[in-house]
Amino acid sequence: MGAINWNWLHVALLWVSEERRHTGLGSRLLDELEEVATRRGCTHAHLDTFSYQARPFYERRGYRVFGTLDDYPSGHQRFFMARALRGADTAR
């Protein structure tokens, strides 16, 4: 699930059941979400994830951490990530 604000896609929720992970489903879902957003004029995307969740998945997809909250929840971190979308003018 995502939302578009100006030229940014916010990936609000992307969840794949344990038995479907490592099948390419998550990548296909994110590809489709980003493609729709690009067609609607988005040039960037952002999301957040936790240290016990999918940070490596998003990093493989080109997302980079731009902010971190430590101890959120206690003993973990919350990462805020973003990337330019394919076809976006990254010279800006």
Query: pLDDT tens across 75-92, in order?
Result: 999 999 999 998 655 444
pLDDT at position 87: 67
In this structure, is residue 92 part of a structural domain?
Answer: no
What average pLDDT does range 50-71 have in this prediction?
Answer: 97
pLDDT at position 17: 94
Number of domains in the chain: 1
The parent domain of residue 54 ranges over 2-84
In this structure, is residue 31 part of a structural domain?
Answer: yes
Q: What is the DSSP string of 12-73?
A: ------GGGTTTTHHHHHHHHHHHHHHHTT--EEEEEEETTTTHHHHHHTT-EEEEEEETSS
pLDDT at position 31: 96
Q: Which of 6, 73, 78, 82 is nearest to 37 (CA)?
A: 6
Query: pLDDT tens across 11-46, in order?
Result: 999 999 999 999 999 999 999 999 999 999 999 999
> For the domain that residue 20 is a member of, what is the CATH number?
3.40.630.30
| Structure tokens that stand for 45 in this block | 């995307």
